[in-house]
Amino acid sequence: MKIDEIYEIYKRFPNVQTDSRKLRKGEIFFALKGPNFNGNQFTKSALELGASYVVADEFQFEDERIILVEDALNALQQLAKFHREQFDIPFIAITGSNGKTTTKELIHEVLATSYKTYTTVGNLNNQIGIPLTILKIKRDAEMAVIEMGANHLHEIASYCEYAKPGFGLITNIGKAHLEGFGGAENVKKGKGELFDYLRLHGGTAFVNTDDPAVFDLGKKLENAIYYGSIGGNINGQILETDPFLKIKIRGKSSFTIQSQLVGNYNLPNLVAASCIGEYFNVTDENIKKAIENYRPSNSRSQLITKDSNTIILDAYNANPGSMKAAIENFANMKGDNKILMLGSMMELGQDSQKEHEEIVSLIDKYKWHAVVLVGKQFNDIKQSYINFENSRQANEWFKNEKPQNSQILVKGSRSMQMEKVLDF
C-alpha cells in the first residue's frame, strides 16, 4: 500500500501508537523493530485491544486491518512527511548539545500566547519521536516547534527530510555524545546539519552569538537572526541569579523577565524564546508573561525546598559543558553549607576519563561541605571525595547524613537516575 493510501486511513484514524502497552481503541499501531523488541509479534494483541489498523513489516496472518510494508519505521516517517506537507505554517526545529528541551518549552509557551502551537512532548526527539510529534499536529495548527536530538552524523539531516523546517535554532555545541559522533568536530558538523538544511532551502536560522561554534555556522546562512548577551537583533542581560534568573531583554524595546529558572546558563534559552517571539510579532507583554509563568519540571533546573534544605535538581542529563556550568553557577550562589551530588557523564568515548578528571579539578577549586560522586566513571579516577556505585547507595548516605540548612546540587546523566538520591 502506498503512503498516500495509508494517509487516507490516517485521516479517518488520526492517532498513531508504537507501544502496544499504551494502545487505545481506534489507534493505528506501527509494529516497529529494535535490537531488543519486535512489534510485529504484537500484531494480534494490538488488534484485540482495538487497533484500527496495524502497519507491519513481517507477515503474521491474514487480516484486512493489517497493512504490510517493507519497513514499518520508514513507513511511519514517510507518513509524517506526507502529513507535514499538508501544512503551510512555520515549522521551527531545535537542536543543540544542552538546553534543547527547556528552550523548546519556553518557545512553545511564548508562541502559544498568540498562535495555536504544537510541539514535541517531553523529549521525543529521535527517529520515532519526531514523526510521532508531526503526526499529532492537527489542522488548526498555526505553529510547530520540533525538538531534534542526535548522537551521530547524518541524524539531524535525516530528520529534516520529513520535518522540513523553515526555521531552526542550535542552542549550543558542546562535548555531548562524543562517542557516537566520533569527536568534537563531528558534533559541530552533526548539529550544523540543521543550518545546512535551512541554507539549502532558503530557511531562517536563529543564531546564538555567545557560542562561537554556532555563530560560525550561522555565518553561512543568508537568512539569520542573531541573539545573545550582547549585540545581535535581540540580547539579554543578567540582573539577578540567586536563586532565580532575572534578565533584561533589549530588542525592538526593553523589558525585564523574572524567570523561575535557576542558573545563568539558562540566559541563552530565555533570550532565544524572546527572540523568536519578537520575530513572530508576539507582544513584549505576552513574551514576559509566558516566560515568567513557565515552571521547569522533569528534573530540569528545578528548585526544590525540602525541610530546611534548598535543592537544585538538574538530573535530566549531563555532559562536560552542562556539568561545568551547573557547578560554577552553584559555587557562586549564596550559602555556606553546599553539598554536591554528581553522577557520571555518559557517551564520552575515549575522552571520558579526561573529562571526568577535569570536572574533579573544577570541584577542587571551591569549598564544599560535602561532595558525593556516583558511578564508575568518577570512581575510576584519582579523587578524594565520597564515592558510590549508584544513586541508591547515594540515597542511603543522604538519609543517614540528614543534612540541615544546606544547599544541594544534584546532577548527572539520565542513566544515573540521580533524582533517586532524593527518594525517601
Specify binding-site residues for ATP: 96-102
Phi-psi region of 224 (alpha: psi -120 to 50; beta: other; left: phi over 0): beta
Contact present, 79 and 6 (Cβ < 8 Å): yes
Contact present, 347 and 151 (Cβ < 8 Å): yes
Contacts of 100 (CB under 8 A, 6+ apart): 94, 123, 125, 147, 148, 149, 171
Looking at residue 414, what DSSP letter applies? G
Contact present, 281 and 378 (Cβ < 8 Å): no
Contact present, 113 and 288 (Cβ < 8 Å): no
Where is the binding site, in residues? 96-102
Sign of the Cα pseudo-torsion (357, 211, 105, 329, in order): positive
Q: How far is CA 164 from the centre of its chain?
A: 19
Q: Is 30 exposed, middle or buried (0-12, 13-18, 19+ CB in 10 A)?
A: buried
Distance in angstroms (rounded) separating the CA atoms of residues 56 and 342: 43
Contacts of 372 (CB under 8 A, 6+ apart): 339, 340, 341, 342, 385, 386, 387, 388, 394, 397, 398
User: 264: which 3 cell numbers?
Assistant: 545563568
Distance in angstroms (rounded) separating the CA atoms of residues 210 and 189: 18
Contacts of 81 (CB under 8 A, 6+ apart): 134, 161, 162, 164
User: 350: which 3 cell numbers?
Assistant: 575515549
Distance in angstroms (rounded) separating the CA atoms of residues 300 and 346: 17
- Residue whose grid cell is 561541605: 369
